[in-house]
Structure 1
Amino acid sequence: MSSAVKLTIAQELRPDELPSDEHVIAAAREVLEATKGWKKGNAYEKKTVQTYSRQKGPGDGAPWHCRVSEHPPAEATFDEFWSKLGHSHAEHEKEYIEVVKKATLVKKVSATQEIWTMYYEFPSFGVSSRVFTILVVTHYDESSSPREGLSVSIPVDLSSDPELAKLEEKGVKGRYVSVGSIKELPNGNTEWRMATSSSPGGRIPTFIVESTMPRTISADVPQFLRWLQTIKPANGPLPTL
């Protein structure tokens, strides 16, 4: 186990050298706290999703972007958010993010750590398919008040383990790291905060990727909420945790 973690796409994890939950969550909290001081950007989705950004720093492989949105219980409760973003996170992304076509579980490391390979297709942009292989770490403390759940994705390189590598999708290899937070607010609403740094790989110009990131990550919010409505029972909310 590694004793320290830097959340970055500059260096991928190896499946035999995965960090502990403690160190991943500590690094995730540092990123989330730092987002509060990042440069404020545009608001999207009828001004309901605010974006922020930070330039590439030492040890980073790319700049960082963040989005923050607040949701009343009538839209989605904390339990409903966490039931889909804190459990089978990668698999659920396939359901509400259109360009994610496959999500394959490579290895269940523990109750809170899983390695997934994600296959993206971008037919409307005319670019090759992309593959992102990640370690997903989730954390939820029932005793915390206000309640908060964290989901962290870190890029993984499977080349050192041929058996696991066989499960990886084929395509241009990209990398992303992300930190997601679902948090109860004093007013009864739920805050969804997500920070990410990424590179799609291949020859897509960096300026195109970076200029479109705020709008791209903001669109995930209404897409998730629309999908959530389609799976809610007709007579009430989703089951609580």
Structure 2
Amino acid sequence: MTTHVQERRYFPAADVALHDDGVRVESYWRDDTEVRVSVLPPGARVPGRPIGQAQVAMVVQGRISTTVGEVTRLMESERHVCVAPPGVSFSAVNPTESEAVLLELRRSKPGEIYPAPSDYFLEPFESRKFVGMDVTFFVADWIELMIADIPGGGEMPYHRHSHEQIGVCLEGRYDMTVEESSHELRFGGTYFCASQEGHGAANPHADVARSVNIFIPPRYHRVPGQKTRRKNEQDTDRETQ
């Protein structure tokens, strides 16, 4: 039977902070990884400073100007991902007159390395159909993001694999199961799934549910030309791609 402590590891409650400039941050933790959902009012900033963690960020609402190291780019919602290795500063500002939402993953795990693209930014790697869902992938050397639309009545069958998986609900609502624990996720709701922990998702509602699912290391793709990446791991599930 799944205990309350185990459920909190799979579906942690948010730590919420409201800053003086109106920025609201929801923070979700499991072990060495933090997921942050930050709501930025017009003109609000996320100040930059080097930290000892790798950072991966995606705008999920509005537009945000982000700077990684010396590289600045205006990021559009779900169109770009930035990857900042440990020790490289990351900052953001909402230059628009509308509210914007920034999704971040911060991670520092012993034994892992976190290389970044030469200019720190990723664009979509591939969009296609997968298990009845419309999906779009972003791929870096050590991490892969999959934005997925689960149609009304659709599901991702329960399965296991060797890759760590983390997910955040971006739109609508859906039921997520990890091991024996199930929760309805709504915007910002986050789950953590370690290697070989069983998991699946279902959308029993009429409206499409949208999520981003993060795989460490990349599960479905490898960046072309990377000679230093690890070999593909053998998965225990038999999903049809």
TM-score (norm 1): 0.30
- Structure with bigger helix share is 1
Higher RCO by CA contacts (8 Å cutoff, separation 6 or greater): 1
- Structure with bigger strand share is 2
